[in-house]
Chain A
Amino acid sequence: MKIVEALEVTKTYTLGERRIRVLDEVSLSVADGEFVVVQGSSGSGKSTLLSLLSGLDKPSSGRVLLGERDITDLSEDELAPLRNEAIGFVFQSFHLVPSLTAIENIMFPAELRQDRDAQARAEGLLGRVGLRDRSENFPHQLSGGEKQRVAICRALINNPKIIFADEPTGNLDSLNGKAILDLLFDLRKEGRSTLVLVTHSLDIARAADRVVLLRDGKIEDEKPDAS
């Protein structure tokens, strides 16, 4: 079953006075439970594709479906429950809320659902990633690896169906990066989530069920073939 699908999506940005076409009629589908890696050089449109698939951004043309649902034209408030319950996002730059502690950052999505077990579940996840004693620290008091672990916990607290990770180890050293990826893979397997990950790393790509190669806004290659 397809869990997320992009149908001939194009994305054009306006930066100052310039219009830049980042994605050009890209079609991609991801099956439930699949681990897909998206690769490409800088500026090829990887992060943009992830933004569109996750509903963080809207395509200039084309459609995006999450499950059976067309999310292309949904409003921000209509997308909110999907982001809260169905999707988990891990960013390269972590993007933790600076004014919330580690545990508060993790609990936040669960609290939005008025989940009474939010704290317990957050504590569990923090323990799972070895940061129980850092639960009351703010993001600026954590190292890069610690921040990314907190971000992963946050992405997983609501047991999302699909996790989007945009270069989750991009800002980490190799040791921390490996640890983060192992964590991500383990938790994904436990939760049986689909994972769509953007990375430059060939090692990570080897672990994927499918690798999609983007060049100049188009899919150049897919291994193995999606069909």
Chain B
Amino acid sequence: MLHKPFILRQLTRSRKQATVFVLCVVLSIVTLIALNGFSMSVHDSLLKDARTLHGGDIIIRSHSPLSKPLKDAVASLAKRGLVESARYYELFSVVRTAGDASSLLAILKIVEKPYPFYGNLQLQSGRAFHEVLTRGSVIVEQGLLDRLHVRVGDSLGIGSAALTIRDVVEAEPDRPVNFFSLGPRVFISTEDLEGLDLVKAGSRIEFVDLLKVHDPKKLDRITGELKAVAEKAAQERVDTFMTESSGVKKFMDNFLFFLSLIGIFTLLLAGFGIQSALAAFLKEKEKTIAIMKTVGATSRFIMAQFVAVLCVLGLMGTIAGLGLGFLLQHFLPALFKELLPQNVHLIVSWRAVLQGLLLGVFVVALFAFLPVYRLRDLKPGAIFRKEDPRIERSLPYLLTISTILLFFIGMVLWQLQDLKVGLWFVAAVAGLIAAVAVITQLVLFFLVKSRVKALAMRQALKGLFRPRNATRAIIITLTASLSVIFSITLIEGNLDAAFVSSYPPEAPNVFFIDIQPGQLEDFSRALGIKTRYHPIVRGRVTSINDEPVDPDKEREKRGDNLSREFNLTYREELLEDETIIEGKSLFRNDWHEPQVSVMDTVVKMKPLRVGDRIVFKIQGIPLYARVSSIRSRTGEHIQPFFYFVFQTEILKDAPQAVFTAVRMDKEAISPLQNRIASRFPNVSIVDVTQTIAVFSKVMHKLSRITRFFTSFSIIAGILILVSSIFATRFARVQEAVYFKILGARRVFVLKVFTLENTLLGLISAVLALLVAQTGSWIVCARVLDVPYRPFIGTSSLMVAATLLLVILAGLLSSRSILNRKPAAFLREQTEE
């Protein structure tokens, strides 16, 4: 059935179209292969190093001192020789130089021997950690020395104590990435804990107990025991080194999740490229197919030959895609530098290889089906007569489109493992492509009707509508991919302008955290700024309407969820920028039970209505409250807000700290920080503008990475452009030859082709900018609530870069056409 010489020669004769087809297959899978493989490598590394990453086998975390039952359970295990335990405390605090000349927000880690159980803390001196960290000593990060201009041996004021810097930490195994930290690390021994006087009721401290399990086989049993005890108190979380999700892992999960969306978007556009390149490839073969049918070949026979050709090309593309995907994977650690631990080992995951192979085969089969199926309907007579065969939107066509859509949805859901987000994403992409398609059709409609006087431009315009020119497909693909890149750039620029370059003038820029209630009066005097003080009580939601909240299930959700601790507060009135959207007032006078007003953000985590019952746990003590109202923020003012607001009488006696946020001149922040830190050492002071600078750095890095991956989708558009030029090669050569015969110079022909590509690039870039400006405005103005700037300069640069890319790609592909001699071409036509 297979005609081997014919198949082989199809592969070698149409090298250009075959190459474009193979490149499209490569493109469709390379980003997903790279990302999936990289993701597996990261997970594998983090899992392998999980013990080191967490410092122990079992990790018990709490925002308040461990409950007695859990303390007793741990003590009992230790007594039985099953575990060894080490405690540490982690908190923010302002550290001061001698004489309070300068101060800095730092992250304190107050540790007891033998922390950590796994991994080594490397010190600049090369000495052992616990040899250096004795009572009265601190070990700090180099960053602290640089920012406070101090040295080893100098004294630091921390809380109520003065401690001496003894060494510098160079590597901290359970803090592999410090990209996101708000301050440098300071290690202190638990022997100084009391002297610091920082552990107060309501303070924001993380209490961590690390356990080393002597018999690894008993790990799960011991963890289960401790979990059962912790569940009753509902204030501690017990995890093993395998189940504990580190900040790094959570961040990478979410970011790689987002990038995989880009990978799927690229796959879809590359799929269009596959279809377009294949259609062009088969169009070149129409005459051959007609001849074969003339001598009696059946459609089945013909399709079998071309399916064989496709299998070879598809396999080449899939293997190349796999190879390039693995290569790209090696480049990713450099791209993700500072976001990942240094010791991420890249692995060759056979699962990823198999997934890649299956994906490549499926993508080719899906997008190649229609062009191959249409071979059935090719009639020899029509081809020899050069009639353009009518493409009927028959059942196979509709079935193929439906299958492509279902495949796309399936891919999204498989990658994302989240139905809601997946469907939103599919709807967004479908909406984007549909909108772009409609606008493109309108633009082309007006273009075809336009009357242009200049000859070269007129010919260029006609060229856009040349038969078999994939003008529409090129514009749609380029516009869709460019609009994503343009949008990322515009949104990043606007966030930068709104928060980094010019922080909103009315927004508070200094936060004061962990003010003790007893300090309030003195603090207020020392601050000297009229401000609102918010009491904060830490608590968790344990059940809603008698349905317990499952923290593990909640943690699986993307975005905010009910598994975490919340900052509860109390007051009797609404804030200036709050409004009640359900209920009559903040609290009801006709109810005689504890009430809580809930922010609409909570309702998004779990449906709630006025009258519903919530049970909170505050330091192990349950608190029942009834939902009295649901609030929303108007966004008129930028100020702190709280998800749960109670009546004063309910929480006023609970362990609490106080928080406030003020707006100050930048120059006044540092002197105030020094003054407050020396008088109230337990108060943490956060300079928000500095914090935002840290996040801005993160944002820029993430945007760069996202743009890198999105640029692959632009390649899909360029490949369709190149394929289209190859497909219309004969017509272009004919035009060029006729122009020359009629007296035009080579430069005229070059001008016409350049103008044609300029039009393509300009239409794509301008449409993309239009879509991007609209989308970015919606995101900035409606979602992020920041003023919008169109960034004309940057927009113009993006359009110019696109134009250059399209013109270059178009001209490079048309080189040989320009050099064709008229006589040779005409001779060939006569002979045929």
Contacts and interface: CB of A to CB of B under 8 A. Distances in A.
Interface of A: 13-15, 51, 56-58, 76-77, 80-85, 89, 91, 93-101, 104, 108-109, 111-113, 144, 154, 158, 171
B287 interface: yes
B13 A98 contact: yes
Nearest to A99: B9
B258 interface: no
B175 interface: no
A109 B293 contact: no
Nearest to B7: A99
Given A13-B385, A80-B293, A108-B292, 18 more contacts: A15-B387, A57-B379, A57-B382, A57-B385, A76-B293, A76-B376, A80-B297, A83-B293, A84-B295, A91-B384, A99-B288, A104-B6, A109-B296, A112-B295, A113-B296, A144-B831, A158-B296, A171-B830
Given A13-B385, A13-B387, A93 B832 contact: yes
A161 to B, nearest CB: 13
Report, nearest first, the 5 A-B pairs whose CB atoms are least far apart: A84-B296, A57-B381, A99-B9, A83-B296, A109-B295
B297 A98 contact: no
Contacts of A56: 294, 379-381, 384
A81 B381 CA distance: 17
A86 B646 CA distance: 94
B6 A99 contact: yes
Contacts of A15: 387
Contacts of A81: 296
A222 B293 CA distance: 32
Contact of B298 (A80, A100, A108, A158): A80
Contacts of B384: 51, 56, 91, 95
Contacts of A113: 296
Contact of A76 (B287, B288, B379, B830): B379
Q: Determine the main DSSP class of B at the interface with A.
A: helix
Contact of A99 (B10, B293, B376): B10
B295 A154 contact: yes
Contact of B9 (A51, A100, A154): A100
A155 to B, nearest CB: 8
B150 interface: no
Contacts of A51: 381, 384
Contacts of A108: 3, 292, 295, 297
Nearest to A157: B295
B113 interface: no
Chain B interface bracket (under 10, 10 to 19, 20 to 34, 35 or more): 20 to 34
B300 interface: yes
Contacts of A144: 831
A96 B291 contact: yes
Contacts of A158: 296
Nearest to A138: B9
Interface in B418-474: none
Nearest to B386: A15
Contacts, number: 86
Contacts of B301: 112
A98 B296 contact: no
A141 B504 CA distance: 76
Contacts of B832: 93-94
Contacts of B290: 95
B607 interface: no
Nearest to B832: A93
B5 interface: yes
B299 interface: yes
Contacts of A57: 379-382, 385
A77 B300 contact: yes
13 contacts: A51-B381, A57-B385, A76-B376, A80-B297, A95-B287, A95-B290, A100-B6, A104-B6, A109-B296, A112-B296, A144-B831, A154-B295, A158-B296
A84 B292 CA distance: 10
Nearest to B13: A99
Contact of A111 (B3, B299, B300, B376): B3
A83 B381 CA distance: 13
A104 B287 contact: no
Interface string B265-303: 000000000000000000000011011111111111100
Contacts of A112: 295-297, 301
Given A51-B381, A104-B5, A97 B831 contact: no
Contacts of A84: 295-297
Nearest to B297: A112
Between A13, A56, A100, A104, the greatest number of chain B beta carbons within 10 A of the residue's beta carbon is seen for A56
Given A57-B379, A80-B298, A97-B291, A14 B387 contact: yes
Nearest to B294: A89
B294 A83 contact: yes
A219 to B, nearest CB: 21
A154 B379 CA distance: 20
Contacts of B296: 80-85, 109, 112-113, 158
Between A15, A82, A98, A99, the greatest number of chain B beta carbons within 10 A of the residue's beta carbon is seen for A99
Interface string B791-830: 0000000000000000000000000000000000000001
Nearest to A85: B296
Nearest to B292: A97
A85 B9 CA distance: 26
Contacts of B382: 57
Interface string B695-717: 00000000000000000000000
Between A76, A94, A96, A104, the greatest number of chain B beta carbons within 10 A of the residue's beta carbon is seen for A76
B298 A77 contact: yes
Between A83, A89, A101, A113, the greatest number of chain B beta carbons within 10 A of the residue's beta carbon is seen for A83
Contacts of B294: 56, 83, 89, 95
A171 B291 contact: no
Contacts of B830: 171
Given A51-B381, A56-B381, A57-B379, A77 B299 contact: yes
Nearest to B385: A13
Contacts of B299: 76-77, 80
Contacts of B298: 76-77, 80
A98 B287 CA distance: 9
Nearest to B287: A95
Contacts of A99: 6, 9-10, 13, 288
A187 B288 CA distance: 26
Nearest to A11: B381
B377 to A, nearest CB: 8
Contacts of B387: 13-15
Nearest to B290: A95
A112 B297 CA distance: 7
B291 A95 contact: yes
Interface in B374-418: 376, 379-382, 384-385, 387
A117 to B, nearest CB: 17
B300 to A, nearest CB: 7
Contacts of A85: 296
Nearest to A98: B288
B84 to A, nearest CB: 76
Contacts of B380: 56-57
Contacts of B381: 51, 56-58
Nearest to A95: B291
A25 to B, nearest CB: 19
A80 B384 CA distance: 17
B381 to A, nearest CB: 3
Interface string B353-386: 0000000000000000000000010011110110
Contacts of B10: 99
A21 to B, nearest CB: 14
A83 B295 contact: yes
B194 to A, nearest CB: 89
Contacts of A100: 5-6, 9
B634 to A, nearest CB: 60
Interface in B292-318: 292-301
Interface in B1-51: 3, 5-6, 9-10, 13
Nearest to B12: A99
